Structure 1
Amino acid sequence: MVNTLKNISAYQSEPPTDLQPRIIASGPLYPREKVLAVLDCGKTPSPFTKKCVQDLERLSLDLEKDVPELIRTALISGTFLGSEWCQGKSPTLVVACDAYRLFRSEWVAHARKDMRFEYYVKFALKRPKEENSQPELILIVSCHLSEERR
């Protein structure tokens, strides 16, 4: 069977046919320092899936401010959950992702108090256009609260 999937992530491996198995045994795939350096460059992360776009809108998360902060918190104080292949908006594009769980305290106006929320964040570094360049962009694959985990 011919593999028609194209890996656009910085993880240098061919995706499995039909993304089976999805789980990537080694991980995390992206070193913390490298991801933090990409965040420090100030480029806005880009949603990679339709569901991620919907989740970010529903949670009113800003791509320029909130999402980089969530990723940074996940890397510094979150828990690495594993790595896996994920399909994007286009059915032929895939990325190898690292998934993290993090907790964050947020003000809830309706409750008039800070409340603790559990987030899941899954991301990949995009493969640079030039072969020896550093990744410049983070692709957000998933960003949602724990009770929305599927």
Structure 2
Amino acid sequence: MNQTPYAKLQSVELAADETLQNWTKMVLEVISSVTEIVNVPIGEVWAVISSFGCERLWFPDMKSIDLKGYGIGSVRTYVFHEPGRIAWERLDYVDVENHVVRFAVFRNDLLTESVGTMKLKALDEGRTAFTWTAEVDLPEGLTKAQLQKELDPMFRGLIHAVAEAVKT
């Protein structure tokens, strides 16, 4: 059966035992971990990153977003302005106390699975350390260095896009 990536993410949510076995067999490697200091209180940054499905308000190059479900297990589909570029993300974990959001990612241009984690730490009343990490099951033909070269600047830009969205 030929499944779309969205169907694959949905099946992960629905087929718990089998999926958990498959999920744990993936070899995830930290490819990128970027921390930036933003001049925004942690509560304001948290309000944006914990709102799974509102990325179009701050994510550059986002043409549309569609959210299926609510809370853990919900899946968002990104369609970018770049023709044919689509990404699916499933919300897997939220830790309100420690300001952590974790989600599974599938991009049609990479054809691999990965996990993204956003974590915040208050530095003082007006500054927040924002860390964005990507763990990837590297596909054949793609090196950590190649992917890191793409992800590091993208994460820096996205972190600052979140901060700017709150300031306006």
TM range (shorter): 0.3 to 0.5
